[in-house]
Amino acid sequence: MATSGSVDFSLDAREIITEAFQTAKIIAAGETPTAQEMSDGELKLNLLLKTWSAKEHLWIMTEGTTALTATTQSYPITGARRMISVRRRTATIDTPMNELARQEYYDLPTKSATGMPVSWYFDPQRTIRTLYVWPTASAAIAANTALHYTYLRVIEDIDALENDPDVPQEWLEALIYNLAARLALAYGSDALQSVSAIANGLVADLSAQDQESVSVYFQPGRQ
């Protein structure tokens, strides 16, 4: 028999929650969670995804760009959780900029200084995520230069049971087992220990693969 030729398998939130309740032995195979159980499952699924969003994953690493504005110190970056790198692009040439720690940025004596931006600081507050650059761009530089950056985005919410989760296919089973472990704990299921062991193993295996395969080399700096 020929293979399907298809690689678009997915599960929506309702299917994931139902499978998690069955995996946790809270309901029997073939049964459907009650409305209250489904609501509990949706809440815990969102909490789980937000916890995963705090970790570094290749599939949430995203590229962005913003135009420089003359004498502007800060730029809002919607959906960013952590900034990885920032480059200054003039024409087709990218120049990496230096990251500043929070204290380093706030200790700068003149944050409104104008010139070619060489440094950046990212401030991920609860509702507003802001990228600061120093010095600010002059009008001439802003007209020909843009910021290009790499960031870890926030994993999207589950707003309806028909939503697919914002994870790759290979993470679906880990998502089900980790949700099942949380449900087993909340509902006092005897399956907690065995489900948790599988959940932890799946995350460990996937995390080992969820990284770039290139080698990184370090060498002493020259004096």
Query: Is residue 5 left, alpha or beta, with left meaning phi > 0 and alpha meaning psi from -120 to 50?
Result: left
Counting beta carbons within 10 angstroms of the beta carbon of residue 11, is it exposed (0 to 12), middle (13 to 18) or buried (19 or more)? middle
Counting beta carbons within 10 angstroms of the beta carbon of residue 5, is it exposed (0 to 12), middle (13 to 18) or buried (19 or more)? exposed
Cβ count near 131 (within 10 Å): 22
Q: How high is the pLDDT of residue 216?
A: 52
Q: How far is residue 177's CA from residue 181's CA, in Å, rounded to a whole number?
A: 6
Of 28-42, 108-122, 204-218, the poorest mean pLDDT is in: 204-218
189 CB-side CA count, 13 A: 24
Cβ count near 168 (within 10 Å): 13
Return the structure tokens found at 4: 């399907």
The 10s digit of each residue's pLDDT in 183-197 is 999 999 999 999 999
The answer to whether residue 217 scores a pLDDT higher than 70 is no
The 10s digit of each residue's pLDDT in 71-110 is 999 999 999 999 999 999 998 899 999 999 999 999 999 9
Q: How high is the pLDDT of residue 210?
A: 84
Please say whether the beta carbons of 129 and 109 come within 8 A.
Answer: no
Q: How confident is the model at residue 182 (pLDDT cuts 50, 70, 90)?
A: very high
Q: Which ranges constitute the DSSP H helices of 68-123?
A: 102-106
Average model confidence (pLDDT) for the chain? Answer: 94
Q: How far is residue 18's CA from residue 66's CA, in Å, rounded to a whole number?
A: 42
Q: How high is the pLDDT of residue 211?
A: 77
The answer to whether residue 213 scores a pLDDT higher than 70 is no
Q: How high is the pLDDT of residue 1?
A: 79
Q: How high is the pLDDT of residue 222?
A: 46
Q: Report, as an integer, the average pLDDT of 121-128.
A: 94
Strand partners for 122? 131
Percent with pLDDT over 70 in the chain: 95
The answer to whether residue 215 scores a pLDDT higher than 90 is no
